[in-house]
Homo-oligomer: A and B are copies of this chain.
Amino acid sequence: MALSVPQWGVFEQAFSGPSDGNPFTEQWIRLVAESPSERIQTEGFYDGSGVYRVRCMPSFPQRYTCTVTASFLTQPWTGCFDVTEPQQGNHGMVHVANRFHFAYQDGKPMYPVGTTAYVWHLQDPAIQRATLKALASAPFNKIRFCVFPKHYEYNLGEPIAYPFEGTPMDSSVLNERNFQEYTGRTEGNHFDGTRFNPSYFRHIEECIRKLGELGIESDLILFHPYDRWGFSQMGRVADERYLRYVVARFASFHNVWWSLANEYDQLPAKTIDDWEYLASVLVRFDPYHHLRSIHNCGPFYDHGKEWITHCSIQRQDVYRTAENTDQWRERYQKPVVLDEMGYEGNIEHGWGNLSAKELVRRFWEATCRGGYGGHGETYLKKDGILWWSHGGVLQGESTPRIAFLCKVLEDIPGNGLSHVPARWDDVCAVVDGEADAGPKPYSLWYYGFQRPSFRDFHIDDVTWYHVDVIDTWNMTITDGGIHQGRFRVPLPGREYMAVRLRKKEEGSRKP
């Protein structure tokens, strides 16, 4: 009987091999899996204790034949597996669709609604469980987190484990005031960058798997500057070895996105040339071409680079960021994901002390300008657990409003929205691809902090439109009737209102 694996699941085969010397650098193992429609060539990896593994993620409901070669196998191993129905909720990888948007491999549109909890997986198990519990009832379908541990304000504790064999510097000397002096230091650490800690990566796999079960994409941050262990400045050879190890282990999970760096411009040890080289490693070794991005602190990376699938954007201005979404779409001709447009919270920093209303407003701006917002929470608490870094419990007021926005998104009759110019004080979105097609069957008008008591519309003279009045903060949708020609929509004179117009189906008549 052939082995079997669900479509977009992980096929894995383990092999015994040498554990002496340094198996990470001295041994290799590779897999080629072939079906009538697909040929997957991947590197395997050493998982410790003399165990080597190869993995692949098949995309077609076919029979795959496999050939495994390894430095320690005297002859190739061959086998085959059948691909069965996907597991419930697994729609395959997310890819760019309709130029500015996303879809799963089975065609289902994917409207990314992300959150950030940089090192939730490196906290105490109880906090990790709380995080997963919170995510289970939250609207987020993407979470940004780091492969490496994080050293930063409110993040001075030791992670539960390290990615390499070795011992860290003494962190008892650290406090909130001196942490910056230790950022980027390497002294005091004794890690062997050639010897991975397999259990560290197994744990991340477990996290990716659990997130997958919740329908959540893992937007994995591969490098970042919040470092006191030296992982941000290992040099190109070690960086490549690390990236290939990560790809060999994680690429077979359908719900993985690669974020090459967070705040790439804050890693003084790396040049644009380094980033381009590391990107080329991702492109070469990831046979599935998971989504790839690179996130800025200050100036954008050139999102026009071919390897970048979508813009992953941090706030550019205290006042105006989501409001630029349509301009960035136009400039880069790629999806615009505002992964960090400020967080709901009350810490001292301007990026982490927005009101829920302001964060939700930015979500709607991003949405109605044809892009996607990102969430985070930075509330000071006595236990020092901040969602943005540790995960834990969601306590903000934005999350339910983001869930409400998701419902509105899911009702769009197409694959995403596009901003169209209207009156100067309108933010108007239509279904992407229909910008030039005359009267739009669907349009969404958002008024942000404006408080109109009414708005007049005149789309055309003949079409009947269903009008919905949407209170984006109070999360209500009120039937505004069916109208034709020039009509007035009464509004409550409150902030955060939207109006949705939907063309009445052909053949139907005004009631």
A321 — nearest CB in chain B belongs to which residue? Answer: B319
Q: Is A413 an interface residue (CB 8 A)?
A: no
Complex contact A425–B319 (CB within 8 A) = no
Q: Is A434 an interface residue (CB 8 A)?
A: no
Contact of A449 among B351, B358, B495 (CB under 8 A): B358
Complex contact A319–B320 (CB within 8 A) = yes
Q: Is A353 an interface residue (CB 8 A)?
A: yes
Complex contact B319–A319 (CB within 8 A) = yes
The complex is assembled from copies of this chain, and their number is 2
A323-B319, A495-B355 given as contacts; is B380 within 8 A of A348 (CB)? no
How distant is the Cα of A448 from the Cα of B317 in the complex, in angstroms?
A: 14
* Tier of interface size on chain A: 20 to 34
Within the complex, the shortest CB–CB distance from A401 to chain B, in Å, comes to 17
How distant is the Cα of A456 from the Cα of B180 in the complex, in angstroms?
A: 15
Within the complex, the shortest CB–CB distance from A107 to chain B, in Å, comes to 36
Q: Is A354 an interface residue (CB 8 A)?
A: yes
Residues of B within 8 A of A455 (CB): 348
A346-B493, A493-B346 given as contacts; is B319 within 8 A of A353 (CB)? no
A358-B449, A449-B355, A453-B380 given as contacts; is B320 within 8 A of A425 (CB)? no
Complex contact A318–B425 (CB within 8 A) = yes
Interface code A328-352, partner B: CB below 8 Å = 1, 0 otherwise? Answer: 0000000000000000011111110
Residues of B within 8 A of A347 (CB): 452-453
Residues of B within 8 A of A22 (CB): none
Interface pairs (13), CB distance under 8 Å: A318-B448, A319-B323, A346-B452, A346-B453, A346-B493, A347-B452, A348-B452, A348-B453, A351-B425, A353-B493, A354-B450, A358-B449, A380-B453
**Shortest Cβ-Cβ A-B pairs, 6 listed:** A350-B425, A346-B493, A353-B451, A348-B452, A346-B453, A319-B320
